[in-house]
Structure 1
Amino acid sequence: MALVLDLLNRDPRPNAGNPKAQPAEVRHPEKQKRAENPVLRKPDWIRVKAPGSPKWAETKAIVKAEKLVTVCEEAGCPNIGECWEKKHATFMIMGDTCTRACAFCNVKTGVPQALDPEEPRKIAEAVTKLGLEHVVITSVDRDDLKDGGAEHFAQVIGAIRKMSPSTTIEILTPDFLRKPGALEVVVAAKPDVFNHNMETVPGKYLKVRPGARYFHSLRLLQRVKELDPTIFTKSGIMVGLGEERNEILQLMDDLRSADVDFMTIGQYLAPSRKHHAVIRFVTPDEFKSFETIAYAKGFLMVSSTPLTRSSHHAGEDFARLRANRAARLGQ
């Protein structure tokens, strides 16, 4: 019986009693994980110039002085050098800690701090100092708040309108999941562009965006148009996560059914090995094909390139968006 118990309790791994003699995957499981999740080499078309120009430094100084959070920094956006060179920045409100943990996102997850009541004023002052003609305001997910942060969004929009009335405002919001009346509060503040990203095709939600629901996000965008048809709606996805081409085309149809005006498509870049792996790098020709198809489906504006991000060239795109609507209406 003692022999049987000894055999049952013995570690079946070879050389279990001698760590140095164990296989590498046993001694260093993190290395085994890296081998199973290799990092693909970035192709030439995805490379960008490192930031460092005087104007970039000036924008950085203003952001730092005002103690503001930007998604440009928090998400490690590859376009930060180009955008900050032009004094374009996307401000992230309600802190730097998200209540969700999406597999693609580099923003930290945890218990957020209380809202800063001075933040709307600080954002408006930064917009004025930078002389922004168009500003993008986004946020972390705040599922801990009763309204998901909707009233705070409205206050930021109001503060910018008061301090810099000529600045057009684009917001990139969370989904306000299960927060009755939240969307209505934000729409009533009348942003010029309401952006909510679908992020990926529905079949990838469980792994990529587990805290969200595909059809809720779709309905959110549709509801904006029902509440105020004058507001432009916008949504974006990442590609390279393992989605199929036909899934992307179906998503385009879903967005058009929700009367979305503007679609963005960009290459997914993994922030680290802990995030969802890049399955493949989509070629520039494929991005061009998606753009052609999306325009054929009726979008007013499409931005589809490897380096496209939600707020990349947002100001120039808004001017084109407005012109395209006027042309379609024959004005």
Structure 2
Amino acid sequence: MAAVSSGRETEIAAFLAANGLSGAAREPLAGDASARRYERLRKADGETLILVDTPAPADDLVPFIAIGAELAAIGLSVPTVIASDAERGLAIQEDFGSDTFSRLLADGADPQPLYEMATDALIVLHRGWPAGAAERLALPVYDPALFVAQTRLFIDAYVPVALGRPLNDVDRSDFDTAWRTVLGPACAGAPSLLLRDYHVDNLMRLDRPGVKAAGLIDFQSAGWGPRAYDLVSLLEDARRDVAPDLAEAMVARYLAAFPETDAAAFRRAMAVLGAARHTRIVAIFVRLALSRGRRSYLVHLPRVWRLLEAQLAKPELAPVAAWFDRHLPPEARAAFVVPETI
């Protein structure tokens, strides 16, 4: 974890003092791939809170607070923000503890009830997201153009390393065309809030009734887009295997809650959006390894490639699969070893 500058530490100390927390013990918490920092604050009476320190509050803290208020209003559990200084990128929020779904699963918890809880939270979200909230929050719209722009990271960050050369303009244009062809139908269904990073690392079990037992975190980058995206994000996890029968049961559970939804079209959308997500994640993990030295992410690449290849085999992904077959031979995919340096 990066050291905190003396100037930043002074700002944090003043913020804590202004909120009656100057005497709280401070414990740094493990971060993620973002630039945010977290600390657990332990008060003398034993109560704990979380300090959030972000260098980009306009893109991070401000939307987190605004989106969290909407999620709480429809009955979902998000950390209550107790105090904030948006200008300085500091906040104090409720401590949800340490029981992430991923930790519970690693400790041997039965995955079925956890995934049911996570699926039910999406059902509540997609049923209850208020009309007009996306516009009020100025959420980015995840349409085919935006998804194509995001998958393009793959040809910028991964392909030149795997092939030893960048693609020419024609090949890049063909990549965009293939993705636009498949993403149009995938984005055609009824949209809702798209949490974007919905998986077991960002879900926490709370001692609350019903769907409120699923604590949601890390939703500040949410957008407005196809409902299938978050479900495939949950069930095709880059960091852990999900049993196929469990994944299928959760898709059936979700679709049963929306009998008016075209189930076949929804499943096709899951395949396309899952493939787009996996393509981008391959590029993100390789970029993190090469630009930041964070090679621990590379352990997940074989899994992400397996998930991507499984989707590319489906007929709805045929144009994208054809592009991969023409431009990226199998040995440059999952079998490719990312070099230590380039």
TM over 0.5: no
User: What is the TM-score when the length of structure 1 is the normalising length?
Assistant: 0.26
State the structure with bigger RCO (CA 8 A, min sep 6), 1 or 2. Answer: 2
Work out which of the two has the higher radius of gyration on C-alpha atoms and give 1 or 2: 1
TM-score normalised to structure 2 length: 0.26
